[in-house]
Amino acid sequence: MKNIVYFLGSLGVAVAAAFLIQNWLSAYDDSGYVLIGLGHWSLETSVMAFAIGLIIGFFLLYIFFRLMGVLFRLPSKLKNKGKNIKFNRSQEALISGLVDSAEGNWEKAEKILIKHASNSGAPLLHYLTAAKAAQSRGAIEKRDEYLRKATEQSGETDIAVGLTQAELHLSANQFDQALETLIKLHSIDSGHASILKLLHQTYQRVGDWEGLRKLIPSLHQNKVLMEAEVKLLETETFSSLLRQAAEKGNAEKIQELWLSIPEHVQSFQGMATIYFAAMIEAGAGDKIQEALIQTLVKKWDETLLVLFANIEAADTGKQLQTAEQWLAIHSSSAVLLRVLGKISMKASQMEKAEQYLTKSVGIEPTVAAYQLLGDVLTGKGDKDKASDSYRKGLELASSEVVNRVESIAG
């Protein structure tokens, strides 16, 4: 539109100039002439005719060159127009593919996204969404193909592509591939919240508690988890590490691990119990006996009390004396009486053992107490009473099993 205005404006100026020149020349008797010679040829005309011819020639040449310019630019304009059409179609295809993917039309979404990916301004979105759709319909090979194309588009260091790869591998239970991708991404950006979150999930899924242990400070520092979630994760991680160490039965490793655990984690409920149980299982109960006693003095815990009875102490007499001191405060504790009975047996004080165990089942009958009492009576040669004690223990165990089955069925 601008060009037309300029053209008409120029034409108007030229016509006005020609009109003024004509009026000026008409004032003279001789309006002048123009002679042009070229070899044997000559052209003679009036000044007015020559001026009008110049104007007409100029505009004819102008129109000619303008047309030539339009013709030269036409192929590129048509090409750009085609690109714009394809781009618009790709944008429509992306929207349609996202909608189909959200609605669960995986195959339809995959086809339309891949068809228009090469013409899109955001090919990554096409390939990544298509990869998710392919996995959702179980086409793992296609998924990997689309992920490769996405990587080619963005490069191996692209966080978005890597995260999508890791998420898809994780959801397909391909933990090794997920970890490989996430560790690489973590080396690129160690504080990225999404990377840390996926690493946390993957380590938990594979039971890599040592990996989680190293990750916890970053999870806390970058606020990936809430404070309560971090504490829960710390409890789960360190308790699992202690159990793993206990399975190997290496008391030195268990103790080394315990000393490396932060104090605030050691104070979490149940952590000390796991540590003491692991050391006793590894045959190093004597190393933690004093610590266990101090813990019991600070906070009475019947689970720890049972662990105390399982310690193979060098001096069982002293162990019994320590436990008997607690009777002054916890005289009605069936668990303490059972523990005293067990330790008395280890100290070869069978009369005491029978007394304590009889009191224990009198307060609260338990399978463990009946079994221990039966062992004591057997050792004394009282087979009838021993059989009766074992029978009561079996009956109690059977009733407990029935009650559990009924509670599950109910």
pLDDT higher for 328 or 13? Answer: 328
pLDDT of residue 61: 75
Which of 125-129, 347-351, 388-392 is predicted with the least confidence, judged by mean pLDDT?
125-129
- Residue 71 near residue 91 (C-beta atoms within 8 A): no
pLDDT class for 311, splitting at 50, 70, 90? Answer: very high
Residue 40 has pLDDT above 80, yes or no: no
Q: Please provide the CATH number assigned to the domain covering 82-155.
A: 1.25.40
Closest CA to 168 of 205, 207, 131: 131
pLDDT of residue 355: 94
Calculate what percentage of the chain has a pLDDT beyond 90. 35
pLDDT of residue 36: 76
Q: Please, what's the b/e burial string for 307-338 (b: 16 or more CB within 10 A of its CB; e: otherwise)?
A: bbbebebeebeebbebbeebeeeeeebbbbbb
Query: What value does the mean pLDDT take over residues 125-146?
Result: 79
pLDDT digits (tens, 9 = 90+) for 315-366: 899 999 999 999 999 999 999 999 999 999 999 999 999 999 999 999 999 9
pLDDT higher for 56 or 249? Answer: 249
pLDDT of residue 352: 92
Evaluated on CA atoms 334, 340, 343, 345, the torsion sign reads negative
Q: Which fold has domain 319-410?
A: 1.25.40
Question: What span, in angstroms and rounded, lies between the C-alpha atoms of 262 and 234?
Answer: 10
Give first-to-last CA distance, the chain, whole Å.
85
pLDDT class for 132, splitting at 50, 70, 90? Answer: confident
Question: What span, in angstroms and rounded, lies between the C-alpha atoms of 178 and 135?
Answer: 15
pLDDT class for 41, splitting at 50, 70, 90? Answer: confident
pLDDT of residue 66: 74
What residue ranges of the chain are covered by domains with CATH 1.25.40.10?
Answer: 319-410
pLDDT class for 32, splitting at 50, 70, 90? Answer: low
Question: What span, in angstroms and rounded, lies between the C-alpha atoms of 367 and 394?
Answer: 7
pLDDT of residue 340: 94
Evaluated on CA atoms 325, 326, 331, 334, the torsion sign reads negative
pLDDT of residue 25: 59
Which of 124-128, 256-260, 307-311 is predicted with the least confidence, judged by mean pLDDT?
124-128
pLDDT class for 288, splitting at 50, 70, 90? Answer: very high
Q: What is the pTM of this model?
A: 0.64
- Residue 33 near residue 45 (C-beta atoms within 8 A): yes
Query: What value does the mean pLDDT take over residues 382-389?
Result: 90
Cα 221–chain centre separation: 16
Residue 116 has pLDDT above 80, yes or no: no
Residue 58 has pLDDT above 80, yes or no: no
pLDDT digits (tens, 9 = 90+) for 203-231: 999 999 999 999 999 998 888 888 889 99
Residue 410 has pLDDT above 60, yes or no: no
Q: What is the mean pLDDT of the chain?
A: 82
